[in-house]
Structure 1
Amino acid sequence: MTRKDRPTVLITGASGGIGRATARRFAAAGFQIILHGFRHMDTLADLVETFRDNDVPFMTVRADISDRTQVFSMVAAIQEECGSIDVLVNNAGIAQQKLVTEVTEEEWQYMLGVNLSGPFYVCQAVLPDMIRRHSGHIINVSSMWGMTGASCEVPYSSVKAGLIGLTRSLAKEVGPAGITVNCVAPGVINTPMNADLPETVVSELVAETPLCRIGFPHDVANAIYYLASEEASFITGQVIGVNGGMVIG
């Protein structure tokens, strides 16, 4: 069920913890929700059922965002079915913990493709219509490791830092067209991506966090929604850390 009379948000990586929470947050605000997935479309089933039961207009799309052709085809299909995309949330991402000397070329290219090339391609695809309408919001989901770097996560930290650079550069380029581009940099969040962290590691991270807890997906979703709201209309090119104070500055 779709409706062209609602503002529309495209959330990439909607099957993950942050993506799902973001979808719920925008749905509560009356948005039409475009749920993107690729390898884990089946995990969207309960969210789709909830939206259907509550008459939330939505659409599911599947694409490998590291493939530019698939991305442009996906965005064209969304625009044909739902109209303009008002908000883009570049949330899709993968992580890997490995010594840099053990990372293969294929693993590096995969990380680069999903976490940086993908957001770049989706921005390229949605921007012409946003520029034409002189309106739009783009929120990229980076990481605190993109701000500080992390040992044993060199590829992940590198591409997330690149996403911050993309955010800042793009904000300058499309600001005159009335489009805001911002970034959230989550800390340790209770999501499936972090489910394999040993409890001892989580405890150590909590001890280093001034707010003395790990984050939850809704913490990040609320920040994302704020950056897409009218209240944040004069904010662009910024990186908002959602990390409980673990990284300050």
Structure 2
Amino acid sequence: MRYALITGATGGIGSKIAEKLASEGWNLYIHYHKKRKKAEWLKEKLKGTDCILVQADLSASGGTKELLSQVTHPVSLLILASGTAPYGLITDLSEIEIDQQIQLHMTSPFLLSRGVVPGMVKEKKGAIIAVTSIWGEAGAACEVLYSMVKGGQNTFVKALAKELAPSGIRVNAVSPGAVETSMLDMFTKEDLKAIAEDIPAGRLGKPEEIADAVSFLASDKASYINGHILSVNGGWR
């Protein structure tokens, strides 16, 4: 039996990744922080798949240790999909917010990967996929902190891929543009319309489209793709 661990599985993108992988025969560790009801709803929806709920705050020190202590099966696929995006000028952000973002997007992915890699190396196979962001590639005003940590994730992916490739393990990322999730709730309808008009495809992305990209990178069809940042953004930026 093969197991995938999805962090942030109750988010707009994470939940669609869970649904996609379940449809492909994966058993799942569904990670959540506060959204217990959403996690239970997702588990019920994926009835027939072995879904194990795991809770941890990955923005806090010790969160990864708490999460890994709940994982009792070898993990063949790690999906790093946890994320929040504070919006504001660099001078508006508190040191607490800075520390939390670095812990959530950089330290925790590093520690989680370190935790599952030995099992993958033993089996000489496995995959790690991070859901990063267009701003990790291009940068964005008023999202400087988010751009920084997502850029760090992209570099982490490229470096770890080189380190683990000899062991048969692939490390890649999907870099979404503007996607229809709660992360865009801070914007007005007029703002979202303007963003859509700025995208060559003429619309926002759908969570299912990101899940499809993750599914592809996790599959044998991507067996020779390693250290790649797959941009899924409708031609934006």
Structure-1 residue corresponding to 2:76 = 86
Q: Does 1:138 align with 2:128?
A: yes
C-alpha deviation, 1:231, in angstroms: 0.2
Q: Does 1:110 align with 2:105?
A: no
Structure-1 residue corresponding to 2:211 = 221
Q: Does 1:230 align with 2:220?
A: yes
> Residues 92-150 of structure 1: CA distance to partner in whole angstroms, max 9, x if unpaired?
01111111011111111111111111111111111111111111000001100000000
> Residues 163-188 of structure 1: CA distance to partner in whole angstroms, max 9, x if unpaired?
00100000011111100000111010
Structure-2 residue corresponding to 1:245 = 235
Q: Does 1:15 align with 2:42?
A: no
What is the aligned-residue identity percentage?
A: 33
Hey, what's the Cα distance between the residues in 1 that align with 2:82 and 2:160?
Answer: 19
C-alpha deviation, 1:76, in angstroms: 4.1
Structure-1 residue corresponding to 2:49 = 56
What letter corresponds to residue 21 of structure 2 in structure 1?
Answer: F
> Residues 5-39 of structure 1: CA distance to partner in whole angstroms, max 9, x if unpaired?
2x211100001000000000000001101100112
> Residues 187-229 of structure 1: CA distance to partner in whole angstroms, max 9, x if unpaired?
1000111122111211111111111110010000000010000
What is the total number of aligned residue pairs between the two structures?
A: 237
Greater alpha carbon shift after TM alignment, 64-73 vs 130-139: 64-73
TM-score w.r.t. structure 2 length?
A: 0.96
Hey, what's the Cα distance between the residues in 1 that align with 2:189 and 2:63?
Answer: 39
C-alpha deviation, 1:66, in angstroms: 3.8
Identify which of 190, 193, 202 aligns with 1:212.
202
Q: Confirm or deny: 8 A CA contact 1:65 1:121 kept in the other structure.
A: no
Structure-2 residue corresponding to 1:45 = 40
C-alpha deviation, 1:57, in angstroms: 1.2
Q: Confirm or deny: 8 A CA contact 1:116 1:159 kept in the other structure.
A: yes
Structure-2 residue corresponding to 1:175 = 165
Q: Does 1:71 align with 2:61?
A: no
**Structure 2 residues not aligned, in runs of 5+:** none
> Residues 47-103 of structure 1: CA distance to partner in whole angstroms, max 9, x if unpaired?
121123xx111100001224564423432432x2xx211100000011111110111
What letter corresponds to residue 20 of structure 1 in structure 2?
Answer: S
What letter corresponds to residue 102 of structure 2 in structure 1?
Answer: L
Q: Confirm or deny: 8 A CA contact 1:68 1:121 kept in the other structure.
A: no
| Secondary structure of 1:77 counterpart | coil
Hey, what's the Cα distance between the residues in 2 that align with 1:92 and 1:232?
Answer: 23
Greater alpha carbon shift after TM alignment, 114-123 vs 160-169: 114-123
What letter corresponds to residue 14 of structure 2 in structure 1?
Answer: G
Hey, what's the Cα distance between the residues in 2 that align with 1:67 and 1:176?
Answer: 33
What letter corresponds to residue 9 of structure 1 in structure 2?
Answer: A
Q: CA RMSD in A?
A: 1.2
Greater alpha carbon shift after TM alignment, 23-32 vs 189-198: 189-198
Q: Confirm or deny: 8 A CA contact 1:111 1:156 kept in the other structure.
A: yes
Q: Confirm or deny: 8 A CA contact 2:59 2:101 kept in the other structure.
A: no
